[in-house]
Amino acid sequence: MTRLTEWFSAGRSSGKHTLPFVVILLVVSLLASGANLLLPEDSALYVSTYTITLLGKYLCYAMLALAVDIIWGYCGILSLGHGAFFALGGYAMGMYLMRQIGDRGVYGDPLLPDFMVFLDWKELPWFWLGMDNFGFAMLMAVVVPGLLAFVFGWLAFRSRVTGVYLSIMTQALTYALLLAFFRNEMGFGGNNGLTDFKEILGFDLQADSTRVSLFMITAFLLAVLFVVSQRILSSRFGKVVLAIRDAEARSRFIGYRTDRYKVWLFVYSAVIAGIAGALYVPQVGIINPGEFSPINSIEMVIWVAVGGRGTLIGAVIGAILVNYAKTRFTAILPDAWLFALGAMFVLVTLYLPKGLMGLYAQMMAKRRPRILEESAVKESATKESEV
């Protein structure tokens, strides 16, 4: 636990990165979008649609990493099941997109998606009702993950399930959902999931302009959520959350209902994950139970660790970097990319315990030794308080 608090020092400084981060994010996405839509394909500066969808995917992952960082970096809750919230949000969006296909499915059934015709279903299951309405579907994309997080968090935090136990329980949660969604009887398309989407709100999903818009919306929402999260975490509420992370028992003794703080933070994080999922699905074009796989959830945690947890910006950078590396490695070293990825995880945990942001802070500190002194004082103070 002592090391946990060291990361705090990095966390402090992230506030001042907010503005530059948001500006860079928005400018880069605007430029990329413009380069895709306005420049001719043979131009040197042209950004291909492939790159746009790839960037869009990275940003969705960044949003997801943000969600993980909020509870892990700031409240010490290591969730190994955030993929579940992400996938639930994705399924809500997938169901909406599926209903939009209408009678253009291969069997031409006006109401039922192809896989239901295929399984001889006669009518739409109740949970598919209303999903043809975009507003309602988007509401579900945040309500369902939020509700699940609330129920799970309420049960777990009230009975003070903490640390490793909690992590394993979240893993069990996503694993159970994985198995459930694999079942064809569930009515979510089984292993094949939902795919072959045609359009969103009447816009053709395969058109470049739709893709760019989705990408821009993702970038914009990421910026908004980033700022909102930063605000929440530096508010009074955020201070209590930090206190809970560093000394839960003490915070409780002082009189804070720590379980309530944890539940609401958990719900907030799950909602962000749900939004990320909902944005992810139209951009990659498929949602299936594989997203619930526990391995995926572990990977999310690793993005945050690589970037540096408790810094928000680190989570975003980590998610983008790791996924970029993955994309490149799978193309360059298809047979050996797992070596590279695995080695990266080991090396980062061993040599960069505070992630890339920690490394950055350290380099800054070397330039200005005064800050180092400060953080050293802080460190020893917190260490003392931990024992």
Partner 1 sequence: MKIKTLVSAIALSGATLIALPSMAADTIKVGVLHSLSGTMAISETTLKDTVLMMVEEQNKKGGLLGKKLEAVVVDPASNWPLFAEKGRELLTQEKVDVIFGSWTSVSRKSVLPVLEELNGLMFYPVQYEGEESSKNVFYTGAAPNQQAIPAVDYLMNDLGVERFVLAGTDYVYPRTTNKILEAYLKAKGVAAQDIMINYTPFGHSDWQSIVSDVKKFGGEGKKTAVVSTINGDANVPFYKELGNQGISAEDIPVVAFSVGEEELSGLDTTPLVGHLAAWNYFQSVESDANDEFITQWKAFTKDSNRVTNDPMEATYIGFKMWANAVTDAGTTDVDAVEQAMIGQETENLTGGIAVMNKNHHLSKPVLIGEIQDDGQFEVVWETDGVVAGDAWSDFLPGSKDLISDWTAPIKCGNYNTKTKACSGQNY
Partner 2 sequence: MRHLIALCCCLFGLLSFSVQAAESSQQDPFLTELAGAKFKDMVPILDQLAEIQGEAILPLFHTLLGGDLYYIKADKSLVGQFDEQGATVYKDVFNQTLVPNLSKRDVKKIRVNNTLRGYLRNAIAQIQLTAKSPKVRESAVRELLSKLDADTVALIESLYAKETNNKVKEAMGLALSMHTASSTELTLPNRLVAIERLSSSLEGDARNLLTTLTKDENPAIVKAATSALEKIAQRANRFAFIDQLFFGLSLGSVLLLASIGLAITFGVMGVINMAHGEMIMLGAYTTYVVQLMMPNYIDYSIWVAIPAAFLVSGLMGILIERLVIRHLHGRPLETLLATFGISLILQQLVRSIFSPLNRQVSTPSWMSGSWEINPVLSLTLNRLYILAFALLVFFALVIVLRKTSLGLNVRAVSQNRNMAKAMGVKTHWVDAMTFGLGSGIAGIAGVALSQLTNVGPNLGQAYIIDSFMVVVFGGVGNLLGTLVAAFSLGIATKFLEPTTGAVLAAIIVLVFIILFIQKRPKGLFPQKGRAAE
Each residue 244-283 as x (binds partner 2 by CB under 8 A) or -, in order, gives ----------------------------------------
Residue 125 binds which one of partner 2, partner 1, none, with CB within 5 to 8 A depending on kind? Answer: none
Q: By CB under 8 A, which span of 132-140, 153-161, 192-200, 223-231 interacts with partner 1?
A: 192-200
Show the tokens assigned to 15. Answer: 């506030």
Residue with tokens 């979008």: 33
Please report the DSSP string for 332-365 in residue order: H-TTTHHHHHHHHHHHHHHH-TTHHHHHHHHHHH
Considering the complex, what minimum distance in angstroms separates the CB of residue 304 from partner 1?
18
Quote the CA–CA distance of 227 and 352 in Å, as a whole number.
26
Each residue 296-315 as x (binds partner 2 by CB under 8 A) or -, in order, gives --x--xx--x----------
Quote the CA–CA distance of 111 and 95 in Å, as a whole number.
12
Q: Is 338 in the site for partner 1 (CB under 8 A)?
A: yes
A 10 A CB-CB count for 336 gives 10
**Position among 72, 197, 226, 266 found at the interface with partner 1 (CB under 8 A):** 197
Using CB under 8 A as the binding rule, the residues of this chain from 53 to 82 that contact partner 2 are 78
Residue 275 binds which one of partner 2, partner 1, none, with CB within 5 to 8 A depending on kind? Answer: none
Show the tokens assigned to 341. Answer: 């990825």
Q: Is 192 in the site for partner 1 (CB under 8 A)?
A: yes
Q: Is 353 in the site for partner 1 (CB under 8 A)?
A: no
A 10 A CB-CB count for 351 gives 8
Helices (H), the chain: 2-13, 18-38, 49-75, 82-101, 114-118, 134-158, 163-182, 208-234, 236-246, 248-254, 258-284, 294-307, 313-332, 337-351, 355-367, 369-386
Considering the complex, what minimum distance in angstroms separates the CB of residue 318 from partner 1?
13
Q: Is 328 in the site for partner 1 (CB under 8 A)?
A: yes
Per-residue DSSP letter, 39: S
Chain positions contacting partner 2, by CB under 8 A: 1-3, 78, 152, 155-156, 158-165, 167-169, 171-173, 175-176, 179-180, 182-183, 294-295, 298, 301-302, 305, 335-336, 338-339, 341-346, 348-350, 353
